[in-house]
A and B are shown apart, each in its own frame.
Chain A
Amino acid sequence: MDLRYSKSDEEFRAELRAWLEVEVPKHGTEPEQNDWESRLEYDTSWQRKLFEAGFAGINWPVEYGGRDASLSEQLIYYEEYARSKAPYVGVNFVGLLHGGPTLMAEGTEAQKEKHIPRIIRGEEIWCQGFSEPTAGSDLASLRTRAERDGDEYVINGHKIWTSFAQVSDYCELLARTDPDTKKHAGISWLILPMDVPGIEIRPLPTLKGELDFSEVFFEDVRIPVDSLVGKENDGWRVTNVTLRFERGTAFASEMYKLQEILARLKKTLQATTRWEATAWDDAALRREVGHLQAELDSLWAMLKLAISETSKTGMPGLGASAMKLYYTDLAQRVTQLCVGAIGRAALSRSPLEGLPDADFLGADLQPLSLSIAGGSSQIQRNIIAERILGHPKER
């Protein structure tokens, strides 16, 4: 139970902090949410800078261009990254956090060679083709078909919630290759190039007004059989490899960012005059901030515990599965408090002179997605109750 960082850890922190202090301001501000050309350039050129400086793929093996940092260095990386307000992983999310890691674990040598170096450099954008209109929490009931025809698969179906489909080069696609067996046993994990004929992309505006999501339709889309990752019909197992990454440390920097948001709330409240006092003089509000701060600190301690257990046993500890639920709940409570605390200024999402910035004002929207994406909070609770606490499935 030792939280001390070593001398070389602190040297790494100093090196990273110095680099971020120079590079983050130089990279400029985030483009408009639906200016895809600028967003693509903004996100991928940042990834390229990280790569060239040796800070990309912090937990990836060196042979794949990563840094293979120790666990304490990874923690430092997440802390410093969030603290510096460095750009969000953005369009590189799926490639860096799902596709790449899955290929490393399950892909053939040829697949790894072709994709991984490009993903880590920000040269190849991936999207996710998992959910369907009729397959959400019950993902294994998916209906998109991949039928074998000689050396090709022929894809027909309909995916949804596909972020960044418009700008993606590849899609990690789950499709049914055997319709005649149990639902989990007939699924395959495929690499689908997004520039082949038969793909139609229809953007689906989110409640934030951004067009990150799309529906993707496939009509007789043909891809070679060597697009398969893992064995045919073994896609459910491969998927669980992917999801494990998502529920692990994928959100670490986002978790730490909540600390920054709460700190900004405090500053905003201290600067907001209410009658003769400031908003910070509101004892109830202050107590709520203190309470949330306690929980954010314990969330960060949970991450430290989970990472330490991973280093010792190779598997995240039991606390790791509780972490996503706790993080999601905290993110929503923190942002609800922020927006609630600024009163009628919350009615504008545009920047207003002298009032809290627009990013802050819109902050209560994004976290609504967290308790739905990557396994809803209800599914997470079922997982904890069934796999950790040992209760039978509800039938």
Chain B
Amino acid sequence: MDFRPSDDQEALQQGVRSFCEGRVTTDHLREIESQPKAFDRELWNELAEMGIFSLQVPEEQGGVGLKAADAVLVFEELGRACVPGPVLWSHLAAGHVDGADLGETVVGGLDLTAPTIEPFMIEHLESLDRLILLKPDSVEVVEAGAVEGTSIEVPLDPLTPIHYAKSLPTGEAIGGVELATQMRLMGTTLASGLMLGIAEATLEMANEYAKKREQFDRPIGSFQSIKHMLADSFVRQEAARAAAYAAGATLDFPEVGDVERAVSSAKVVAGDAAMKNSRTCIQVHGGMGYTWEVPAHYFFKRTWVLENVFGGVHEHSDRIADRVAAEA
């Protein structure tokens, strides 16, 4: 047992971080926001070239051949940078939908494995070529153009445009219950990875601000009331890290534990961390935190997008309780 990321894994994560820091800056997020579809095709191609989508596609099929634990580290970085676009679904689609791995086909998705409130809320529909319909015992793919969606004028997350549809076309089945389960577990785990990244980014942002911002002739970070808020964010970040990494490691080697429970734990703990840390970030920024100027709101809004995919904190708490109940 060695739970620490390996040297290779650290290098992989560092590579994605360096790319994001240079390419997905706050200014760039604002630029994407101002475009009609809030989608940057060039950035998409660069993510594809880096192997973000083909990361878990086997090498003999032209992919990078890495595993879930590696992907968690990559998605941690994508979350930290608030990278927009249907990255999660396109990653899941790679190897199952032609062209997804190379970024040629932009794939979105809709999780229908849990009770869903109609109408269906579809992310990034106008940028998509294909849409995955993830059902409890099957995976279907439809042409994005075949979906009769109505654009939501003001989406919650300015970087996640939303369409709603009252019905969905019947898709072409690309897998049964096995693929559906695997996609649900992987999707939940990687959403947890994104939320871990949000928890980190919002702590970092709040922490830097608390060092610079002075009131009463001293940095506000010298006050215990601020210190303790930030320390609590740190504890949540580290708990989320352990939970998300454990989910990835358990997906890769199911013999080490209960996969469903590990994945649900990650969504609960990383979900709490992203939600509370992004709120703390806004609070520490004071009045500026409530403005559009400070990017904290992007992370807070993205948290709600991720909380509502693959089940939220409540749903996964219930699932864990059900699994615990079944134990002797």
Interfacial residues, chain A to chain B (CB-CB below 8 A):
1-6, 9, 71-72, 75, 262-263, 266, 270, 280, 283, 286-291, 293-295, 297-299, 301-302, 304-305, 307-309, 311-312, 317-319, 322-323, 325-326, 378, 380-382, 384-386, 388-395
Contacts and interface: CB of A to CB of B under 8 A. Distances in A.
A339 to B, nearest CB: 19
Interface string B204-219: 0001001100000011
B265 A308 contact: no
Contact of A304 (B1, B226, B321, B327): B1
A290 B256 contact: no
A280 to B, nearest CB: 7
The 5 closest A-B pairs by CB, nearest first: A290-B321, A385-B227, A290-B317, A301-B242, A298-B243
Contacts, number: 188
A250 B320 CA distance: 28
Contact of A3 (B3, B9, B219, B228): B3
A308 B4 contact: yes
A379 B262 CA distance: 32
Contact of B1 (A5, A291, A302, A382): A5
Nearest to B225: A394
Contacts of B321: 286-287, 289-290, 293
B269 interface: yes
Contact of A2 (B3, B228, B318, B324): B3
Given A2-B253, A301-B3, A384 B325 contact: no
Contacts of A395: 222
Name which of A294, A301, A318 has the most chain B CB atoms within 10 A of its CB.
A294
B235 A289 contact: no
Contacts of B264: 294
Contacts of A1: 2-6, 9, 69, 245, 248-249
A294 B9 contact: no
B234 interface: yes
Contacts of B319: 290
Nearest to A309: B4
Nearest to A262: B324
A384 B221 CA distance: 12
B257 interface: yes
A280 B6 CA distance: 42
A379 B245 CA distance: 29
Query: Which of B6, B238, B313 has the most chain A CB atoms inside 10 A of its CB?
Result: B238
A269 to B, nearest CB: 9
A308 B1 contact: yes
Contacts of A382: 224, 227-228, 231
A322 B219 contact: no
B3 A304 contact: yes
B4 A299 contact: no
Nearest to A3: B256
B4 A312 contact: yes
A297 B262 contact: yes
B242 A319 contact: yes
Contacts of A295: 239, 265, 268-269
A308 B3 contact: yes
Given A1-B5, A289-B324, A305-B241, 6 more contacts: A3-B1, A308-B3, A319-B241, A319-B242, A389-B221, A391-B219
Given A4-B253, A394-B222, A298 B240 contact: yes
27 contacts: A1-B3, A1-B4, A1-B69, A2-B253, A3-B3, A4-B255, A5-B1, A266-B325, A289-B324, A293-B265, A294-B243, A294-B317, A295-B239, A297-B246, A298-B239, A299-B239, A304-B1, A317-B4, A325-B232, A380-B231, A382-B228, A390-B207, A391-B211, A391-B221, A392-B221, A394-B224, A395-B222
Contact of B227 (A5, A9, A301, A386): A386
B239 A326 contact: yes
Interface string B266-279: 10110000000000
Contacts of B239: 295, 298-299, 302, 322, 326
A380 B207 CA distance: 17
A302 B227 CA distance: 22
Interface in B82-112: none
Nearest to B234: A384
Contacts of B253: 2-4
Contact of A318 (B9, B211, B228, B238): B238
Contacts of A326: 235, 238-239
B282 interface: no
B246 to A, nearest CB: 4
Contacts of B222: 391-395
A72 B1 contact: yes
B322 to A, nearest CB: 8
Interface string B294-328: 00000000000000000001101111111011010
A297 B324 contact: no
B223 interface: yes
B147 to A, nearest CB: 34
Interface string B1-35: 11111100100000000000000000000000000
B130 interface: no
Contacts of A325: 231-232, 235
A294 B224 CA distance: 29
B246 A3 contact: yes
